[in-house]
Structure 1
Amino acid sequence: MRIEQIYTGCLAQGAYYITSNGEAAIIDPLRETQPYMERLEKDGVKLKYIFETHFHADFVSGHLDLRRKTGASIVYGPNAKPEFEFISAKDAQVFEIGEIKIKVLHTPGHTMESTTYLLIDADDNEYAVFSGDTLFIGDVGRPDLAQKAASMTQEELAATLFHSLRNKIMTLADNVIVYPAHGAGSACGKNMSKETVSTIGEQKANNYALRANMTEAEFIKEVTDGLLPPPAYFGMNVAMNKSGIESFENVFSNGMRSIKAVEFEAVAEETGALILDTRNNADFAKGFIPQSINIGINGDFAPWVGALIGDVKQPILLVTESGMEEETVTRLSRVGFDNLIGHLKHGFQAWTQAGFDVDTVNRITAGQFEKEFKIGESKIIDIRKEGEYEAEHVDEAYSRPLSSINEWIKDINPEEHFYMHCGSGYRSMMAASILQARGYGNFSEIQGGFNAIAKTRVPKTDFVCQSKILI
């Protein structure tokens, strides 16, 4: 028996590749299937089952492409009703892969079809659980994402999750390994650990939601407290995973079309495409195509695309660093942004060489900010998460998280200058590009963000350890 966790950092997502005696299973696969196909060929095994723990909201699964390429069966737990052929597994049903078994544990609560898969080894020992979004390391799945589909309140879903955990998960032996679908950084929970593997015993001891004497009411209160609104694209990804999607190869081919600079602007106007510039924030600040939006590839790229662009059907034209075209297209496809028109051939350099108009961001250093800042007069917008802001911030700064920019942007007075920062400059450049694309240019974005400001004498609140703050 072999178990491989295939972890994708930008999505904080774990897929699982399992082999035994010439057969294989894959749990919660990502959109691009080539890495799985290469493993199957190298190991000389046949893919028998594709297990899905639930309808994923934060990424598009590769289940249909994998089935098309291998003939493997797609398995969901009870209550799942996708629009394609699949095996509707019953609670406690057992599937055999080589010498091992996978037992279905229906664990509703995060969603009503949520299912945990228990691996039983060749010696009939309960070895590991693949817990999907039911149980994370240090946390449990948020119970608010399936309210509409389940016709239940988040409190009712939380109560359902409480009983799933106590009746199906916590009854397992302490040495059973826990393999979750996500780790720290995912929006599917709120308090996940950076660790990606644990045991039932460790989670009973350390996971706040698995306290031995916890009441149902306490669980509901703690699990639902402090939940931030889910990113706009979540519902669209669920629909794609239920109904079927275009093949990854077609999406990839479209995104890899090279468009010359002389044609790029015309294509943008004809298609209504959004120009997405994925270069690093320092390069973007120095010059970019007017109206383009910056979300740097070297960061939490895909989740931010989903949160800020929202509509997965939005036509997109890409501007990337040289050699990053394939990576960019792949990451966009993972979160369902399939309407890719192509990318600027030879990147931004080709645009400038063609003599077209260029825009810039008024980026200043933290030192400049320190010299210009006037107590009681200067307006500062802090776009970090609320928890980061509460831990420490510039005195009199306003908290306006980037994730809600579409709400607070309408309150900006275009005649009033303001300073803006995040933690390091990655997020504030996203905000700067959105502001300028919508006609707001009377601001200064601070290079290096609060990390740089903290080293100056600009007045700040007292630091509070973020471990004590719900983010």
Structure 2
Amino acid sequence: MVFRQFVHDDLGCASYLVGDERAGVAAVVDPALEIDEYVRIARYLGVRIDHVLETHTHADHVSGHGRLQEATGAVIHVHRAAGAEYDHEPFDDGWELELGDVRVRALHTPGHRPEHTAFALVDASRGPEPWAVLTGDSLFVGDVARPDLAVEAEDGARDLFRSLTDGLLRMAPETEVWPGHLGGSMCGGPGMSMKISSTIGYERAHNPLLAVDDEDEFVRRSLAALGPQPPNVATVVALNRGPLGAHAVTARPLTSRQVERRRAMGALLVDVRADLPFDEAHVPGAVSVTSIRAGFGTRLGWLADMGDGIVLIGRDDADGRAAARLCAAVGIGDIAGYLAGGMTSWREEGRPVARIPRLPVGELAARVAADPALQLLDVREGSEWRTLRIPGAVHRPYHHLREVPEGIDPAAPVAVVCASGQRAGIAASLLARLGVAGVEHVTGGGVGDWERAGHPVERG
């Protein structure tokens, strides 16, 4: 049997190559937009990719099913309820696909989306029972899927409860669980693990939401854990449901002069370097969204409509091209280009730079005590704010900083804080772009570190 997992680190998405080496046939499940690795591994193992299976119409990333179909001639399969507009073979609950001795069995598991389907894997050369299940966006390691991306959240949560209790959790406890996402994905909650797999028995025993046997209580807990819904969900769903296409984003190199002109015309300049070099020197008006940590595409999705096109700025050309590919993966297509030569070329030409002071979290209390005019802006999500916060801080999630928040005086200094310093870096750059002069980026930690140091906090 052929079985390989592929992980898109930036999005936390997992896809799979499943097949039979002796029969020389395989299928890709939930392909990412970049398909080269599937083709390479299939060639290495001597199997043809004859089928593409989708657990559902994805809302967080653009599928590579169109590219795979074009490259291999594979048939695309998705549940009938998906309403797919591309050429495909629809299936229903219980459908099976034979790949030599391997059988892939469809288990309809609505909740995350009405069409959502898990795939049980049977290796007939070893036994008749499923040895594993590809759970897609239904059951994760340590968590379950969010239910609000296609239907009313409560309806989705009730469907998910039934799909789990009446479906997946009835499988043998030793059945391996291979999910569609790892920790950090927007499709799950805060309990989602970075672990790549689990078993039905282990999840039944240790996944907190699976211990809830009352449907109403399951719904309550599921909805309480929901984060904000990203703004480009409808765009990504439309791309994945619509006609097949390459969905490529091309980014051309731009000279420093061209970047200046784009900025003057209202483009959003996105610096994809780490926050430290950004704070030390960046193109004035640029926003810091680092691509060297997971979640770049998702975070940029919140900000992509803030300008007339996007210009990417990295350390060099490779940074710009890589960031453009990550943009394509989440359906962000309005890329004007990238700064040729990166920030190095900008500085070599003697062009102006801006800086943002960095404030280590361990020095924040002393800074607050020394300057009564210092304002605190907490840019975490609402659920984090309600759980724990610094007294007197103003709250606004980083992705809602389209204007200076009410309660913040743009003429007075403001320290921006989150949980780790990462979101604070984005927010500090957004405030500077809005003209706030005295912005300081709290680094190396955040509100939790403030509490652990014994400083006062508020809860509830």
State the TM-score, normalized to the length of structure 2.
Answer: 0.90
Amino acid at match of 2:141: I
Q: 2:260 aligns with which of 265, 274, 298?
A: 265
Amino acid at match of 1:18: V
Secondary structure in 2 matching 1:66: helix
Q: Which residue of 1 aligns with 2:238?
A: 239
> Is 2:430 the counterpart of 1:443?
no
CA distance, structure 2, for counterparts of residue 335 and residue 260 of structure 1:
26
Q: What is the 5 A alignment of 1:192-341?
A: 192-211=192-211, 214-244=213-243, 246-247=245-246, 250-251=248-249, 254-255=250-251, 257-269=252-264, 272-299=266-293, 300-309=295-304, 315-322=309-316, 323-341=318-336
- The superposition leaves residues 116-137 of structure 1 with CA deviations (integer Å, 9 ceiling, x where unpaired) of 1111112322111111111111
Amino acid at match of 1:262: R
Q: What is the 5 A alignment of 1:350-429?
A: 350-366=345-361, 369-374=364-369, 378-386=374-382, 393-406=389-402, 409=405, 412-429=408-425
Secondary structure in 1 matching 2:167: helix
Residues 451 and 457 in structure 2, CA contact (< 8 A), matched pair in contact too:
no
Q: 2:29 aligns with which of 13, 20, 27?
A: 27
Q: Which residue of 1 aligns with 2:120?
A: 118
> Is 2:87 the counterpart of 1:90?
no
CA distance, structure 2, for counterparts of residue 453 and residue 228 of structure 1:
23
- The superposition leaves residues 140-169 of structure 1 with CA deviations (integer Å, 9 ceiling, x where unpaired) of 11111112xxxxx32222212222212221
Gaps of 5+ in 1: 148-152
CA distance, structure 2, for counterparts of residue 404 and residue 83 of structure 1:
34
- The superposition leaves residues 158-183 of structure 1 with CA deviations (integer Å, 9 ceiling, x where unpaired) of 21222221222122111111111112
> Is 2:426 the counterpart of 1:430?
yes
> Is 2:142 the counterpart of 1:143?
no
State the TM-score, normalized to the length of structure 1.
Answer: 0.88
- The superposition leaves residues 168-209 of structure 1 with CA deviations (integer Å, 9 ceiling, x where unpaired) of 212211111111111211111112123221111111112233
CA distance 1:82–1:318, shift in 2 (3 Å): same
Amino acid at match of 1:217: D
Secondary structure in 2 matching 1:79: helix
Amino acid at match of 1:227: L
- The superposition leaves residues 8-67 of structure 1 with CA deviations (integer Å, 9 ceiling, x where unpaired) of 222111111112131111111111111111112212211111111111111111010000
Q: Which residue of 1 aligns with 2:40?
A: 38
In the comparison of the two structures, how many residue pairs are matched? 452
Residues 404 and 434 in structure 2, CA contact (< 8 A), matched pair in contact too:
no
Q: Which residue of 1 aligns with 2:11?
A: 11
- The superposition leaves residues 367-409 of structure 1 with CA deviations (integer Å, 9 ceiling, x where unpaired) of 6644432387642122234565566654433443324434873
Larger mean Cα displacement after TM superposition, 24-33 or 420-429: 420-429
Residues 370 and 456 in structure 1, CA contact (< 8 A), matched pair in contact too:
no
Residues 54 and 77 in structure 1, CA contact (< 8 A), matched pair in contact too:
yes
CA distance, structure 1, for counterparts of residue 160 and residue 403 of structure 2:
32
CA distance, structure 1, for counterparts of residue 386 and residue 218 of structure 2:
25
Residues 232 and 310 in structure 1, CA contact (< 8 A), matched pair in contact too:
no
Q: What is the 5 A alignment of 1:442-461?
A: 442-450=438-446, 454=450, 459-461=455-457
Residues 28 and 52 in structure 2, CA contact (< 8 A), matched pair in contact too:
yes
CA distance 1:265–1:63, shift in 2 (3 Å): same
CA distance, structure 1, for counterparts of residue 163 and residue 146 of structure 2:
14
Amino acid at match of 2:103: K
Q: Which residue of 1 aligns with 2:155?
A: 156
Larger mean Cα displacement after TM superposition, 385-394 or 322-331: 385-394
Amino acid at match of 2:34: E
* Residue 422 of structure 1, CA deviation: 2.5
CA distance, structure 2, for counterparts of residue 197 and residue 414 of structure 1:
48
Secondary structure in 1 matching 2:446: helix
Percent identity between matched residues is: 30
Larger mean Cα displacement after TM superposition, 171-180 or 357-366: 357-366
Q: Which residue of 1 aligns with 2:170?
A: 171
CA distance, structure 2, for counterparts of residue 242 and residue 452 of structure 1:
42
Amino acid at match of 1:289: V
RMSD: 2.7
Amino acid at match of 2:114: M
